[in-house]
Amino acid sequence: MTNNYKIIILTIATIFGLVACSTDKTSDVVNDEMLETDETDDESEITYSGTASITQGIAMTTESNLFSAGTRVAGEGAIEASDATIWTVPAEVNYTDDIFPFASDLHNVYGNTYSTAADAVAALDGSDIIEIDSEGELITGYVFADNYFEMYVNGVPVGKDAVPFTEFNSSIVRFKVSAPYTIAIKLVDWEESLGIGTESSGGSDFHPGDGGMVAVFKNEFDEVVAISGSDWKAQTFYTAPIKDLSCPTESGTIRNSDNCDVADSNNGSNYYGLHWEIPLNWYDEAFDDSAWPDATIYTNNTIGVNNKPSYTNFTDIFDDNNNDAVFIWSTNVILDNEVIVRYTVE
Ligand SMILES: [Ca+2]
Ligand SMILES: [Ca+2]
Ligand SMILES: [Ca+2]
Ligand SMILES: [Ca+2]
């Protein structure tokens, strides 16, 4: 049950601004302007009918670039919400944690690029295989994620994406496990303007990028045992940019921003972000995801993969006529930037 309530958005920027102005004895003009701005903010009570913590504006950069070879800068930031909680944007990840293994390459212009999945698998020496159950089946997973993934099976890390942002890449994970087992993946649609979910694109400084993930899992007989689809669960934990806080709605566990504006702009510095806490044991087999929304499916055209060799080289895997894996995400593939998907293989 969600209660409607009113919050007064007093931005961190305004607080800092007032502090700065109160110590600035030389600029009465600026002081007057700031006070007027403050009055305006006080009057603008904004109706937000959801459970998220709300941030406004661009985060403080805490990591300038996780992957300096990449085309777009994959930074990380921290930002304080109106309820004084602090959030890592676009997501807390294990990219620099050596204990969390990298997935192997299907196609990665900074690593190995293969023309076929068979070539990519043939190049592996077995040291990549994560053993969850010693007597388990060898499962090979093929993943394309826009932009970044971290995958667990029964709570065990089995692979993280080699490229956090761009260029687009695709990956292989291999693990030994006994059914039933649960696949849980953290997905991040990375951002250039930290905290507001945007990137520079098409002449606009603040273009809301999109996400999307497709995955296929096969056993050692090359039989498909799981594909991404609407029978997966998907929940969002970070939604941005939000231009109007009265736009997003919640119904039960559904965090809906489908009616929110996604148009490009050249001034996103006051946009909002919505943040929800991720359950501590989200990757465990025992985590109860039954109340989570089903994944929403998206076409290849919507995700825009038809010109990307990291996808098109492997359509025999991702677009199998008999077992067509489809792109999944939460309900909003543009505004939802940190999404967790889960699926149990019986
Ligand atoms: Ca990637
Ligand atoms: Ca996005
Ligand atoms: Ca993206
Ligand atoms: Ca497909």
pLDDT digits (tens, 9 = 90+) for 55-76: 999 999 999 999 999 999 999 9
| Cα–ligand 1 centroid distance for 291 (angstroms) | 29
**In a 3-state reduction of DSSP, which class is residue 300?**
helix
Label residues 302-332 b or e (16+ Cβ within 10 Å = b).
Answer: ebebeebbbbebbeebbbeeeeebbbbbbbb
| Cα–ligand 2 centroid distance for 310 (angstroms) | 20
* Rounded CA separation 312/306 (Å): 6
Going by their DSSP bridges, the two strands 213-218 and 224-227 should be labelled as antiparallel
- 133 lies in the same domain as 172: yes
- 165 lies in the same domain as 311: yes
At residue 47, the pLDDT reads: 86
> Please, are residues 285 and 155 in contact by the beta-carbon 8 Å criterion?
yes
- Average pLDDT score over residue span 298-320: 98
> Please, are residues 228 and 341 in contact by the beta-carbon 8 Å criterion?
yes
| Cα–ligand 1 centroid distance for 116 (angstroms) | 18
- 190 lies in the same domain as 325: yes
- Would you say residue 221 lies in a domain? yes
- Would you say residue 81 lies in a domain? yes
| Cα–ligand 4 centroid distance for 77 (angstroms) | 33
- 111 lies in the same domain as 245: no
- 194 lies in the same domain as 326: yes
Mean pLDDT rounded to a whole number for the chain: 90
Token reading at 17: 């601004």
- Average pLDDT score over residue span 241-245: 97
- Would you say residue 42 lies in a domain? yes
| Cα–ligand 2 centroid distance for 27 (angstroms) | 40
- Would you say residue 206 lies in a domain? yes
| Cα–ligand 1 centroid distance for 19 (angstroms) | 41
Residue 3's nearest CA partner among 43, 48, 66 is 48
Of 169 and 33, which is predicted with more confidence? 169
Q: Domain end: 248, 275, 302, which one? A: 275
- The CATH number of the domain where 165 resides is what? 2.60.120
- 265 lies in the same domain as 289: no
| Cα–ligand 4 centroid distance for 160 (angstroms) | 21
- 215 lies in the same domain as 197: yes
Looking at the structure of the chain, the number of domains it has is 2
% of the chain beyond a pLDDT of 70: 87
- 168 lies in the same domain as 268: no
* Rounded CA separation 151/342 (Å): 10
Confidence check: pLDDT of 42 > 60:
no
- Would you say residue 175 lies in a domain? yes
Confidence check: pLDDT of 257 > 60:
yes
Task: Find the ligand nearest to 327 CA.
Answer: 4
- Would you say residue 99 lies in a domain? no
Q: Domain end: 275, 294, 329, which one? A: 275
| Cα–ligand 1 centroid distance for 157 (angstroms) | 17
At residue 5, the pLDDT reads: 40
| Cα–ligand 3 centroid distance for 11 (angstroms) | 27
Q: Where are the alpha helices (DSSP H) in the chain?
A: 12-22, 28-43, 117-122, 300-303, 309-312, 315-318
Cβ-based burial of 98 (10 A; exposed 0-12, middle 13-18, buried ≥19): exposed
| Cα–ligand 1 centroid distance for 163 (angstroms) | 4
Q: What is the pTM of this model?
A: 0.88
Task: Find the ligand nearest to 300 CA.
Answer: 4
- Would you say residue 217 lies in a domain? yes
Q: Domain end: 223, 246, 275, which one? A: 275
- 162 lies in the same domain as 36: no
Q: Which residues pair with 198 in a beta bridge?
A: 193, 208
- 245 lies in the same domain as 123: no
- 322 lies in the same domain as 267: no
- Would you say residue 98 lies in a domain? no
Q: Which domain holds residue 50?
A: 4-93+238-275
* Rounded CA separation 235/288 (Å): 13
- 157 lies in the same domain as 42: no
> Please, are residues 344 and 231 in contact by the beta-carbon 8 Å criterion?
no
pLDDT digits (tens, 9 = 90+) for 183-224: 999 999 999 999 999 999 999 999 999 999 999 999 999 999
